[in-house]
């Protein structure tokens, strides 16, 4: 599934209509969650039952009926996705919180399926044909969409971001494979001092996008509370604050994308650490730095480009990779402040480079121990196979003040 995004250009009344459609989607999703919570135990509430409930809501509320019927179904599918995840976590006995479905208060998108919209023959405009009166809006951006037949577009989503409105198209096609420039093998050790250190001795600098923008973000946040509540100046201040967070997010994403592409394009095997980032951010002294470096985002792009370049990527257990000597295999105990690995065998390397070599060796053992590793190694979740519905449940990366 390929997702293409374009900036939407319209009039203020059209933007208000989009906001109304987004609020209606949130209303339907929350009503579906409440319907599931209040249902008696003997009553089975599944995806089909929630879709039927959306039909009942269309009969009861006029503003729900004005939204396209398939868009209403998409809203109940979002509710079912959170319910199904909760059931799966309970069945698998996931430790800690199971993710009980919660009501949404900051929805920023409305999703249409194969009806409720029509593309202009030039594919530079799109018209929404339901009764929300969005009408025809312009699409700004690169025009790859014109190379795909309309029947391949399975979902269309309108998204509100800090700097305007966007239209996303989910195109049902297979990703194009590209040839690699080399067939090397590389181990990656991510960190906070460097973004990553590889088994060849190269250190990629940590850009620290949030740390660099933190002063401006805090200043923009203070300006919000100096404005009177409910006034237009306060809304403008909130928008300026949200834009700064959005800029940091885009910088992180572009940085991770560029590095992941270069790594997968030049190597036939890429090994990286299978880190529990969710558990690591519980350390409040390092949480901001760990979130700023965005290891999970880099990993997802690695998995995406692994399929694109037919590269094998393997996630290995990072246990003892920093303590073990990459030359003789002996355990050399060292604290976090010790940045140089020195072994009695004569091996002397920078700590992270030694760990990267160990990670690569573990990946080679895993690869040789099985007949053939798949394109994404030990991990199967990738962006390329992710539907637009699954992406909408991701954590918001913009400011909640938007």
For 358, half-sphere exposure in the C-beta direction (CA atoms, 13 angstrom radius) is 25
Specify the pLDDT at position 176: 78
Q: What Cα–Cα distance (Å) separates residue 219 from each residue in 213, 311, 334?
A: 10, 44, 41
Query: Cα–Cα distance between 307 and 373 in angstroms, integer?
Result: 12
Handedness of CA 205, 209, 213, 214 (dihedral sign): negative
Specify the pLDDT at position 87: 93
Specify the pLDDT at position 218: 95
- Decide: helix, strand or coil at residue 248: helix
Question: Cα 222 to chain center, whole Å?
Answer: 29
Q: Is 326 exposed, middle or buried (0-12, 13-18, 19+ CB in 10 A)?
A: buried
Phi, psi (degrees; rounded to nearest 5) at 156: -130, 130
- Decide: helix, strand or coil at residue 152: helix
Task: Give every CB contact of residue 162 below 8 A, 6+ residues apart in sequence.
Answer: 239, 242, 243, 245, 246, 398, 399, 402
Which has the closest alpha carbon to 248: 207, 278, 191?
207
Does this model's pTM top 0.85? no
Segments in 182-322 forming alpha helices (H): 209-225, 232-265, 277-280, 287-293, 295-308
Residue pair 307/382 in contact by the 8 Å Cβ criterion? yes
Digit-by-digit pLDDT tens for the chain (402 residues) are 788 999 999 999 999 999 999 999 999 999 999 999 999 888 889 999 999 999 999 999 999 999 999 999 999 999 999 999 999 999 998 888 899 999 999 999 999 999 999 999 888 999 999 999 999 999 998 878 888 889 999 999 999 999 999 999 999 987 778 889 888 999 999 999 999 999 999 999 999 999 999 999 999 999 999 999 989 999 999 999 999 999 999 999 999 999 999 999 999 999 999 988 988 998 888 999 999 999 999 999 999 999 999 999 999 998 888 888 888 888 888 888 888 888 888 888 888 998 999 999 999 888 776 533 333 333 333 333 344 444 433 434 444 445
Query: Cα–Cα distance between 359 and 249 in angstroms, integer?
Result: 29
Residue 95 burial (CB count, 10 A): 7
Query: Cα–Cα distance between 108 and 32 in angstroms, integer?
Result: 18
């Amino acid at each position: 599934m390929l997702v293409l995004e374009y900036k939407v250009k319209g009039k203020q009344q059209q933007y208000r209509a989009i906001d109304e459609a987004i609020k209606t989607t949130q209303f339907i999703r929350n009503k579906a969650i409440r319907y599931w919570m209040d249902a008696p135990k003997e009553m089975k509430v599944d995806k089909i039952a929630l879709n039927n409930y959306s039909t009942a809501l269309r009969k009861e509320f006029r503003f729900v009926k004005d939204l396209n019927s398939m868009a209403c179904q998409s809203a109940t599918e979002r509710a079912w996705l959170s319910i199904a995840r909760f059931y799966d976590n309970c069945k698998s006995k996931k430790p800690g919180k199971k993710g009980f479905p919660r009501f949404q208060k900051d929805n920023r998108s409305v999703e249409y399926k194969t009806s409720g919209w029509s593309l202009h023959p030039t594919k530079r405009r799109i018209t929404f044909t339901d009764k929300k009166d969005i009408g025809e809006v312009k699409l700004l951006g690169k025009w790859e969409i014109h190379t795909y037949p309309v029947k391949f577009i399975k979902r269309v989503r309108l998204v509100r971001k800090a700097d305007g409105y966007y239209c996303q198209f989910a195109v049902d096609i297979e990703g194009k494979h590209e040839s690699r420039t080399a067939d090397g093998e590389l181990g990656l050790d991510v960190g906070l001092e460097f973004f990553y250190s590889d088994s060849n001795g190269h250190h990629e600098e940590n850009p620290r996008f949030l740390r660099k923008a933190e002063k401006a973000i805090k200043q923009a946040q203070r300006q919000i509370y100096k404005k009177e509540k409910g006034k237009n100046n306060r809304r403008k201040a909130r928008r300026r604050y949200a834009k700064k967070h959005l800029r940091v997010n885009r910088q992180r994403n572009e940085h991770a994308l560029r590095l992941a592409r270069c790594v997968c394009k030049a190597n036939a095997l890429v090994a990286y650490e299978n880190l529990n980032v969710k558990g690591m951010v519980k350390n409040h002294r390092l949480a901001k730095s760990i979130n700023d470096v965005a290891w999970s985002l880099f990993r997802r792009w690695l998995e995406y480009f692994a399929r694109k370049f037919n590269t094998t990527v393997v996630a290995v257990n990072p246990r003892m990779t920093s303590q073990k000597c990459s030359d003789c295999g002996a355990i050399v105990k060292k604290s976090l402040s010790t940045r140089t690995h020195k072994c009695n065998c004569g091996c002397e390397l920078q700590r992270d480079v030694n760990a990267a070599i160990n990670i690569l060796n573990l990946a080679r053992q895993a690869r040789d121990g099985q007949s053939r590793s798949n394109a994404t190694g030990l991990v199967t979740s990738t962006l390329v196979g992710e539907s637009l519905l699954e992406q909408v449940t991701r954590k918001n990366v913009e400011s909640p003040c938007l």
